[in-house]
Structure 1
Amino acid sequence: MLGLAVVFDGAGVIYAPFRIIKDMQRGLTKRSRVSGITCTDRLTTGAMVVLKTRYEETLEHEEPTNLFAEVLRAREIETKVIYKREGVSDEDVREIILQDGSVTLRDVHEVVRKLRRCDILPVLGIGLILEMAPARIRYVIAGGINLFPGTLKLFKELRELGIQTYIAS
């Protein structure tokens, strides 16, 4: 017997991405509706990175004055390049992050604190957008998601009908 399944694309269909971004060059922190990929594409040689860690477990209790690069190194926090412009290498990206002397944990705590004030699910990710020339971290990002109204009700109704649901993104 065949079953029925529904596959949803996540972003824009069942939830809205929600991000707080700090422009390190301007010192401005705000909510952004612009995707990280779009921000990266605005830079001639940019790369977007996510931290492979849980903020609550590794960064939340760090002193605000600590340099971000030093904490990454000391805690051996991995990064993953998820998008980059042509000609940018993952190794160069990691090197720029570890050599950056301007981003502190205060910057990271600031974007997370502002994100937590928003009406989002308790899903939290930390990312960076870098410029390769000049070599620096340009943006610090905290992101989460906000389900569209009716999403949970829809999932419940589908489950009650015996329909399996999957999220593809």
Structure 2
Amino acid sequence: MKTAVVFDSAGTLLHTYRVAKDIINDSMVEGVETTTLTCSAKGRALVLLYAHSKNIINEPESELLSSYLKFNGITFGVACSCGVVTIGDVSDILYSDEVAKTGDLQTCIRKVWSCCKKLPVVAMNSGVIVNKNIGRIEYAITSGGRPFSGAKKTIQTLQEMDIATYVASGDRTDKLMKMADYLGIPHGNVHGVSTPSIKAQIVKDLKEVYENVIMVGDGVNDIAAMKEADIAILTEQQKGKKPKILVEAADYIINDVSEVIEIAKKSNLQK
């Protein structure tokens, strides 16, 4: 194989519905782009919680989220951050916050489930945004997604063209595996809980194996990987305003994941 295509998941392969609860202002934000929200203030980190939604829902809503996480030994992964936010910083806040309740996260889970329960949901994740500069959990977040209509056919066509397909995403690996099974992407080619720097390293490592590596993403956390790739594709299939810095990092801007096929085909023939 000469060419490999690396996909982000949410917003790229999956049409994703996200909601966040602003815990400080006690308000809901729907259709939020979590990476953009995270990167809009220094000291923030987007944290994935390795807890099943059903288990969270069964907890008393008045219980402190930090107590629930600590008592049940819930671990986490950092998807991205704005500035330097260490694992230690996140851990200190996550397990000691005295404001966020399990009920805040339950509200997000129920909202997403009410919209996605009739769809073939492939990935559903919950987490929080912590802020090192104020030492607390700012937002509770849940997302649910289903594959874009052309995603499965796109992956199959690329593989028939002898083009390798990979996933590098900030989402949880176990959730991504369900999506990979549906789309036909080998488990060994799926990289979960990938921060921007890890995504970039994945692309860099693949360039040692393939003559051409394409990165397909839709958020600011994909910029480093897009810059590292031989070809950077920004997908706008999931609507929403894209930051200028993200647009400028792209060699191609597409409106449907299937458009990757022709770009990859052209690239494969040129190498």
Measured after TM superposition, the shift of residue 165 of structure 1 is: 7.7
Closer/same/farther in 2, CA of residues 11 and 88 from structure 1, 3 Å limit: closer
Distance in 2 (alpha carbons) for counterparts of 1:157 and 1:47:
35
Q: CA deviation at 1:164?
A: 8.9
Instruction: Tell me: CA distance 1:41–1:13, structure 2 relative to 1, closer, same or farther (3 Å).
Output: closer
Q: Which has the higher helix share?
A: 2
Q: Report what 2:131 is aligned to.
A: 131
**Structure 1 position 51, deviation (Å):** 0.6
Aligned partner of 2:29 in structure 1 is 30
Q: Which has the higher strand share?
A: 1
**Alpha-carbon shift at residue 163 of structure 1 (Å):** 7.9
Change (3 A) 1:164 1:76: same
Alpha-carbon distance, 1:151 to partner: 3.8
Q: Distance in 2 between matches of 1:129 and 1:102?
A: 13
Corresponding residue SS for 2:123: coil
Per-residue CA shift, 1:14-43, capped at 9, x if unaligned?
A: 322221111112111132242x22111111
With over 3 angstroms needed to count, the CA separation of the structure-2 counterparts of 1:135 and 1:157, relative to structure 1, is closer
Paired residue for 2:43? 45
> Does the residue aligned with 1:124 lie in a helix, a strand or coil?
strand
Distance 1:43 1:64 in 2: 28
List aligned pairs for 1:17-166, cutoff 5 A: 17-34=16-33, 36-56=34-54, 58-119=55-116, 120=119, 121-152=121-152, 154=153, 166=165
Please tell me whether the aligned partners of residues 15 and 147 of structure 1 are also in contact (alpha carbons under 8 angstroms): yes
Query: Structure 1 pair 163/44, CA: closer, same or farther in 2 (3 Å)?
Result: closer
Partner of 2:167 in structure 1?
A: 168
Alpha-carbon spacing, 1:38–1:16, altered in 2? closer, same or farther (3 Å): same
Q: Which residue type is aligned with residue 144 of structure 2?
A: G
Q: 3-state DSSP class of the match of 1:168? A: strand
Q: Quick one: percent identity of the two aligned structures? A: 21
Gaps of 5+ in 2: 169-271
Shift of 1:113: 0.1
| CA-atom RMSD in angstroms | 2.7
Would you say the 8 A contact 1:20–1:30 is kept in 2? yes
Tell me which amino acid in the other structure corresponds to 1:80. G
CA contact under 8 A between 1:20 and 1:115: conserved in structure 2? yes
Higher relative contact order (CA 8 A, sep 6+): 1
